[in-house]
Structure 1
Amino acid sequence: MSLVRFLPIPSDRMGIIWSLLTVQGAIVLEYGPAGTTHYSMGLYGGLGLRFQNRLFTTHMSEDDVVMGDVTRLEEAIIELDKSYAPKVIFVVASSVTAVIGTDIKGVCRYMQNEVKAKLVAFEQGGFRGDYSVGLAETYKLLVRNLPQKDAVQEAGVYNIIGASAWRYRMASDIWEVKSLLSEALDLRCNACLCCDTSVDELQAMGKAQVNIVLGNEGLAAAKYLEEKFGTPYVYAVPYGYSGTVSFLEQVGAAVGKAPEPMVLMRIKMKEKGMSMLSMFAMMGGSKPRQAAVKGDYDLVQGVGAFLEQAGISVTHKMCAHSLKAITEPVADVEAYAEEGEWLQEIRELRDTLLFADDVALTQADASNTKVLISAPFMNGVVATHMPFMGEKGADFLLEQIQGYYQK
């Protein structure tokens, strides 16, 4: 990892743990020093995750590290199973156990006969990449280990894959997506990976009529479910009015149902109303119409496309993580190996509509119009009813564009 002045990009291990903490009925056990787990709790709390009696650590002594003794891990698994009776115990490697090569999968294999809870091992310890890699690995391991084989498909049921708790206002986006699918197609959500779901919902994933992928990291998991259960998937992230209409039409096609015409008409009417932006452009005088977006891959793609549809040139599409876990990334979305690279570009922006995280916004010049849209964020309270996706999300983005022209 290169030196950073502000906040380092979370590792794959962090992405795994914050995703697993959203699964109700399960416990996360990290095999490593207590300090490693304790240090990360502040981040999980900031994301609104509940980890009391959900996140545990075995701790490790120097002897455990040197001798490779896994007695603490074995005893912790048995104690948690007896004390809390979880349906699943996720055993996660820390950076220390990843370095010394502890066979966590092997331990879980022979300990499975000693406990009632299902044991699922995650051996990534923070060295395989950033959080996007961890998200992809989490989705894949969950769908390979938890869905029951005998699930019977039910009409009108869907799963969401790729909803990361790291995304700013992800709960708001999920609320909006569920509302739209209920209103336009009369569909209901079963499991949501990984944003407030449960072991029972994950076990019932096979009953879904369609899987909806809201993050590129979830594509591999969706493809696996298609192979195992024959469930089709739709990879479409509903940013902007036209993006939302396309999303509803694609999901409708997958379940063999046309979206409610009045819903589509309402959204399309708002899209036509974007022609009013020319008036705001004239009010802005000779101000250049340009924007920059920094955040997760799909957010940068979707918000950037909406801005361009509104007649704004997007000069920078800045991905906040590597593109290692992204399937076929587009050429105009750029990832940065060094913090200093994106900082320099942010600091050079002038009179730009900037959608980014709190760190980037604090470093941007005051002449820019700044909108918080991605993590990391510093505020303690995050709205659960103010999305960026869907119809309401497009309403919000449009308001920011209008405010930019009026500034």
Structure 2
Amino acid sequence: MPSNICRFAGCTLTGALSVTTHVRDAITVVHGPQGCTHHNFSLLHATSLDNDRIALPPLVSTGLSETDVIFGGEGALDRTLDTVIARDPGAVFVLSTCIVDTIGDDVGMVCGAKAGVPVIVVPTAGFLGGSFQTGVNNALIALAGMAGPADRNGGVNIIGEKNLEYEVEENFAEVSRLLALLDLSVNIRFVHDLATDRIASLGAARLNVLRDPSLIPVGESLKERFGTPYIPAYPVGISGTVAFLESVADTCGVDCRHAVEEEHMLRQQTLDDFADLAGAGIFFTPLPPDPEGSRVAQDIAQALRLDVTSSGCPVPVPVTPPVGIIGVRRLLHRWRRALHA
């Protein structure tokens, strides 16, 4: 199982781009030197191909020169925005870079003077300590500003999917499956392969499901703006789905008894299907980098009566814990292949 870790270790700009480039009819302008855009274009294109998504990131650079850095880059941004707006995109997202914040360009002023299409500024200069996740959160909060009040439609928003991780579609399918057990459907994926006009329905959902707790600032922002409650994370591990179903049902005021019963049956079926692994000695590789990943891997091993020992067979553990029972089943297939190799 390839590691995800390098995909989430980028700068603030990269984190924001992983969000804005998934608005399919919008264009993202990176205000800074060409190198910032070139590096991220290569990364986003490569990870998209790895995820079987053939798409060129819609990026445009203002291409700041040494002269712009000395005398200011606002003119370069103004000219670039005129060129981009002439293409009539659904929206334009303007992302700043470290050099732009250092020289003090007034990005908001330049963008605010434009008309014709929404021009949204996303602060992404990370040189003062911002991280990849900071960029993700800033982008989601900025894009949410495009949505206004909306009538509730009973759907559920999926917030902050890790667009660069392996199995992003499989993880979404698992969460959708669990919501369907409660007769709930997905309103929008904010933001994954989304059209600009769909953002308007962001506030129509009855519930937001966050990808993981690092998005709680986004959940709180959306709750304050639209009054929408949120679940702080996807379900992970062998027992996470039942807790997830109960939490969603409690928040939405629906009966979850039948759904929980079905999920208990699927959990038992999974343990029965992989009972042949019982008693095997294993150790995890690479070691999970966080306590949650380690806990989930240990819980799965304990449920199957596997012996975790340094002399055991190396089995793969992804950086992000498996989502739901179906994610656990995919992981156990990899463990079986490793043990039988």
CA distance in 2, matches of 1:30, 1:124: 10
Query: Which residue identity is paired with 1:176?
Result: E
Identity of aligned residues (%): 24
How far 1:309 moved relative to its partner? 4.8
Match of 1:216 in 2: 213
Given the alignment, which residue of 331, 334, 337 partners 1:397? 331
AA in 2 matched with 1:81: I
SS across alignment from 2:162: coil
The answer (yes or no) to whether the contact 1:163–1:193 under 8 Å persists in 2 is: yes
Q: Which position in structure 1 is the counterpart of 2:153? A: 154
1:159–1:210 Cα contact (<8 Å) kept:
yes
- Matching residue of 2:108: 105
Shift of residue 37, structure 1, vs aligned partner: 0.9
What pairs up with 1:273-312 in 2 under 5 angstroms? 274=271, 280-282=277-279, 284=280, 287=281, 293-294=287-288, 302-303=296-297, 305-307=299-301, 309-310=303-304
User: How far, CA to CA, are the matches of 1:368 and 1:97 in structure 2?
Assistant: 47
Name the amino acid aligned to 1:23: V
How big is the shift at 1:391? 2.8
Question: 1:272 — aligned with what?
Answer: 268
| 1:46 Cα deviation after fit | 1.8
What is the aligned partner in structure 2 of residue 368 from structure 1?
Answer: 314
Matching of residue 59 in structure 1 with residue 44 in structure 2:
no
Cα 1:43–1:53 shift into 2, 3 Å: closer
Secondary structure of the structure 1 residue equivalent to 2:254: coil
Q: Is the 8 A contact 1:88 1:119 kept in 2?
A: yes
* Number of equivalenced pairs: 330
Contact 2:278 2:305 in 1 (8 A): no
| Distance (whole Å) between structure 2 residues aligned to residue 135 and residue 307 of structure 1 | 33
Alpha-carbon distance in structure 2 between the residues aligned to 1:266 and 1:213: 24
Partner of 2:95: 92
Report the alpha carbon displacement of residue 213 of structure 1 after superposing the two structures with TM.
1.2
2:133 alignment counterpart: 132
Q: How does the TM-score come out when normalised to structure 1?
A: 0.71
91-100 vs 304-313, which deviates more? Answer: 304-313
Match among 224, 227, 232 for residue 227 of structure 1: 224
Structure 2, unaligned runs of 5 or more: 1-5
Query: In structure 2, do the counterparts of structure 1 residues 186 and 119 end up closer, same or farther at CA, with 3 Å as the change threshold?
Result: same
Q: Structure 1: which amino acid aligns with 2:22?
A: T
Q: 1:297 to 1:247 in 2, by over 3 A?
A: same
TM-score (norm: length of structure 2): 0.84
Distance 2:157 2:290 in 1: 21
**Residue 210 of structure 1: how far off its partner (Å):** 0.6
Structure 1 unmatched ranges of 5 or more: 1-5, 316-349, 353-366, 376-386
**Secondary structure at the residue paired with 1:212?**
strand
**Cα distance in 2 for residues equivalent to 1:217 and 1:142:** 18
CA distance in 2 between partners of 1:227 and 1:249 (Å)? 24
Cα distance in structure 2, aligned partners of 1:158 and 1:248: 13
Deviation of 1:40 after TM superposition, in Å, equals 1.9
Report deviation, 1:90. 0.7
Residue in 1 that maps onto 2:3: none
Q: Where do 1:167-182 residues align within 5 Å?
A: 167-182=165-180
Q: CA deviation at 1:172?
A: 1.6
